[in-house]
């Protein structure tokens, strides 16, 4: 049985993760950490009855007492980096679903994991359909290099653009680093930011935050007399769970943290 801690367990993604782990036949939920809901039985939060697992607020104190095999983290940009370093220092494999890590922090985490020989995953998105959307976009840009990204999320998401949008731009850039259009030289924004942010000086990313949304992304590619739109919609947060469970199972045999679920689905980690 794989022992799993969920950090950020009281949030919407944390609850889904705790429930998925609780229901997995080859896993056991051993702990729940969050600054909210402290003292509550996680079973009551995820509607599976009392479990005896009480939400606590100190990750450091939990890791001093217990060393689970894997920690799933859905905290936020302010906490996730330090949390991940703590997991690695305590020999716990991190599965990071929280976004907001910058490139330097990701590289630091990977370097530390390699030194310690501890596997794990940083995943901008766990939805398998979203991974396919990114892969298809990276393939399409070889033929249609004019591309923009529109990502849409619920109004409680703090960071923008989303980790999924950044990862999509990275994959596109790897395919056509010198081929995508970087905009008109004299392009004028009468309202600053109207054309979105630029990834590596060229790929436009537009962020939308509205109530009623969950997680959605369009990659729009343009060509002579045509456009191609590749879109993924997350209807509910259950869609992230199959990918997360794959990551937990694979992390047990990995020796380094990798960035992107596609590394587990399409490549040898």
Which residues form the catalytic set? 153, 157
By the 8 A CB rule, do 216 and 151 touch?
Answer: yes
CA 173 and chain centroid, separation: 19
Measured CA to CA in angstroms, residue 82 lies from 25, 77, 105, 160, 183 at distances of: 31, 10, 10, 20, 38
Largest pairwise CA distance in the chain:
63
What whole-number distance in Å separates Cα of residue 204 and Cα of residue 75? 27
By the 8 A CB rule, do 97 and 30 touch?
Answer: no
What whole-number distance in Å separates Cα of residue 47 and Cα of residue 125? 25
Evaluated on CA atoms 14, 17, 22, 27, the torsion sign reads: negative
């Amino acid at each position: 049985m794989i022992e799993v801690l969920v950090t950020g367990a009281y949030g919407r993604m944390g609850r889904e993760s705790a429930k998925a782990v609780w229901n997995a036949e080859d896993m056991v939920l051993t702990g729940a950490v969050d600054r909210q809901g402290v003292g509550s039985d996680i079973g009551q939060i995820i509607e599976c009855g009392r479990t005896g697992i009480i939400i606590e607020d100190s990750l450091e104190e939990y890791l001093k007492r217990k060393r689970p095999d894997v920690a799933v983290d859905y905290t936020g940009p302010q906490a996730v980096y330090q949390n991940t370093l703590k997991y690695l220092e305590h020999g716990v494999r991190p599965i990071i679903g929280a976004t907001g890590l910058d490139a330097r922090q990701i590289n630091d985490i990977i370097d530390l994991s390699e030194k310690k020989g501890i596997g794990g995953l940083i995943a901008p998105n766990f939805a398998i359909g979203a991974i396919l959307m990114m892969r298809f976009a990276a393939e399409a840009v070889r033929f249609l290099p004019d591309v923009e990204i529109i990502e849409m999320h619920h109004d409680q998401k703090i960071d923008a653009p989303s980790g999924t949008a950044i990862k999509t731009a990275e994959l596109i850039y790897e395919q056509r680093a010198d081929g995508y259009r970087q905009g008109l030289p004299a392009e004028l924004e009468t309202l600053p930011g109207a054309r979105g942010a630029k990834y590596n000086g060229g790929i436009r990313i537009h962020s939308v935050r509205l109530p009623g949304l969950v997680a959605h992304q369009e990659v729009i590619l343009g060509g002579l007399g045509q456009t191609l739109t590749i879109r993924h919609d997350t209807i509910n947060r259950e869609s992230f769970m199959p990918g997360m469970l794959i990551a937990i199972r694979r992390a047990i045999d990995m020796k380094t943290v990798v960035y992107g679920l596609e590394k587990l689905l399409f490549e040898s980690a």
